């Protein structure tokens, strides 16, 4: 999910302006050197920006630099494999997303198992999607969209950032629950120009990716995919208000190599949760439509398992494969 450079610079500047409150003395000598946070997507994307916000806060609190490194490719699997093979000393962390749980099933030949080979540290924020259509599309509600789609099977083009991406799986879940038959059009680059012009008619996009276009009436928001309404789009209903039980959202969080000391994991969990609770960071995340979350490492681990199992069922039921 791409964000404008101006917004990135504003967020980075905002994070840098946070007060450098010293952290409590930690029993272990950690961190005693720079910590590397590996991001599996391109610089400027949502995970990269969130990683930098949190890393800046951790640097201030813990007195050592937390340096973000972008290692994009294979839906974050390249970065995940790198971190899985790193020493379990707390100095190499992964900015993980729900995509990592999807990849467990989507890429059966991975050299690591996401749920097995990582220690959950802390979830940072949720990243719900919003179902958007081009303004000329005749449907103005989800019910109208479903009725129109059923009356015109195979005639509506649905854009996504790629086969097996979370937005693609949002559609697969919608098809399973409602029976709508859309034409999936995967893109390697941005699909927004084609969506706005009407060459494709619908997409499940991150809120941050399309909120400015919604506000400018260049796209119409039908529903958000989260369990709750999104603060940044308060008038947009939940998709579950029309399709019972529908929920599909991503999240960003930090994980470490398996066997990282529990004391390090617990301390990082406290510090990351504190960052998410900071009013300035919270307001920045909320403005992006990615509200902060807080969990213990155990709770985060359970969420990873739940997402892995949920998307495995969708991928297998929809027979989704990557070349």
Question: pLDDT tens digits for 185-217?
Answer: 999 888 999 999 999 999 999 888 899 999 999
- Residues 115 and 121: their CA atoms lie apart, in Å, by 12
How much is the pTM?
Answer: 0.84
Q: Residue 319 CA to chain centroid, in angstroms?
A: 23
CATH of 128-241, one of 3.40.190.10, 1.10.3720.10, 3.20.20.450, 3.30.365.10: 3.40.190.10
- Helix then strand then coil, % of the chain, to nearest 5: 40, 20, 40
pLDDT tens across 18-31, in order? 444 444 444 468 99
Structure tokens at 210: 């399309």
- Residues 88 and 96: their CA atoms lie apart, in Å, by 16
Residue bearing the bigger pLDDT, 26 or 111? 111
E-assigned strand segments in the chain = 35-39, 66-70, 92-97, 118-133, 157-160, 183-186, 202-206, 220-224, 249-257
Q: What is the pLDDT of residue 323?
A: 66
Residue bearing the bigger pLDDT, 289 or 167? 167
- Collapsing DSSP to helix, strand or coil, 63 comes out as coil
Residue bearing the bigger pLDDT, 48 or 37? 37
- Residues 234 and 22: their CA atoms lie apart, in Å, by 37
- Collapsing DSSP to helix, strand or coil, 45 comes out as strand
- Answer whether 248's CB lies under 8 Å from 129's CB: yes
Q: Report, at the CATH architecture level, how domain 5-127+250-317 is classified.
A: 3-Layer(aba) Sandwich (3.40)
Mean pLDDT taken over the chain: 90
Structure tokens at 84: 């899985």
> What DSSP designation does 37 have?
E
Q: Compute the residue count for the chain.
A: 323
Cβ atoms within 10 Å of 109's Cβ, excluding its own: 4
Q: What is the pLDDT of residue 183?
A: 98
- Answer whether 290's CB lies under 8 Å from 144's CB: no
pLDDT tens across 91-107, in order? 999 999 999 999 999 99
- Residues 96 and 167: their CA atoms lie apart, in Å, by 17
Of residues 208, 213, 179, the one with CA closest to residue 195: 213
Every domain of the chain and the residues it spans: 5-127+250-317, 128-241
CB contact set of 4 (below 8 Å; sequence gap of 6+): none
Mean local confidence (pLDDT), 296-323: 94
Structure tokens at 18: 């946070």
Q: What is the pLDDT of residue 18?
A: 47
User: How sure is the predictor about 1, in pLDDT bands with cuts at 50, 70 and 90?
Assistant: very low
Q: What is the pLDDT of residue 174?
A: 96
125-154 CB burial, b ≥16 within 10 A, e <16: bbbbbbbbbbeebebeebeebbebbeeeee
- Check whether 13 has a pLDDT greater than 80: no
pLDDT tens across 126-160, in order? 999 999 999 999 999 999 999 999 999 999 999 99
- Check whether 54 has a pLDDT greater than 70: yes
- Check whether 6 has a pLDDT greater than 50: no
pLDDT tens across 223-275, in order? 999 999 999 999 999 999 999 999 999 999 999 999 999 999 999 999 999 99
Q: What is the pLDDT of residue 35?
A: 98
């Amino acid at each position: 999910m791409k964000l404008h450079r101006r917004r990135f610079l504003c967020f980075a500047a905002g994070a840098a302006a946070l007060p450098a409150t010293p952290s409590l003395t930690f029993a272990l000598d950690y961190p005693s050197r720079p910590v590397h946070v590996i991001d599996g997507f391109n610089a400027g994307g949502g995970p990269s920006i969130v990683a930098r916000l949190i890393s800046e806060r951790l640097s201030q609190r813990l007195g050592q630099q937390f340096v973000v490194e972008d290692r994009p490719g294979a839906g974050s699997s390249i970065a995940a494999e790198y971190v899985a093979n790193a020493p379990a000393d707390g100095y190499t962390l992964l900015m993980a997303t729900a995509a990592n749980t999807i990849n467990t099933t989507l890429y059966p030949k991975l050299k690591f198992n996401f749920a097995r080979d990582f220690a959950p540290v802390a979830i940072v924020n949720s990243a719900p999607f919003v179902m958007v259509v081009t303004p000329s599309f005749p449907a103005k509600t989800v019910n109208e969209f479903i009725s129109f789609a059923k009356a015109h099977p195979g005639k509506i083009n649905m854009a996504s950032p790629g086969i097996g991406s979370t937005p693609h799986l949002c559609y697969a879940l919608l098809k399973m629950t409602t029976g709508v038959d859309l034409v999936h059009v995967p893109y390697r680059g941005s699909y927004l120009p084609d969506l706005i012009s009407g060459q494709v008619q619908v997409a499940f996009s991150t809120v941050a990716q399309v909120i400015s276009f919604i506000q400018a009436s260049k796209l119409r928001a039908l529903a958000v995919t989260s369990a709750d309404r999104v603060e940044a789009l308060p008038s947009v209903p939940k998709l579950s208000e029309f399709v019972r039980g529908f929920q599909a959202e991503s999240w960003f969080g930090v994980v470490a190599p398996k066997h990282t000391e529990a004391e390090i994991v617990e301390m990082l969990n406290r510090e990351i949760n504190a960052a998410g609770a900071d009013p300035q960071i919270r307001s920045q995340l909320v403005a992006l439509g990615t509200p902060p979350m807080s969990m213990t490492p155990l709770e985060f681990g359970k969420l990873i398992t739940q997402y892995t199992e949920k998307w495995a069922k969708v991928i297998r039921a929809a027979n989704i494969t990557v070349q």
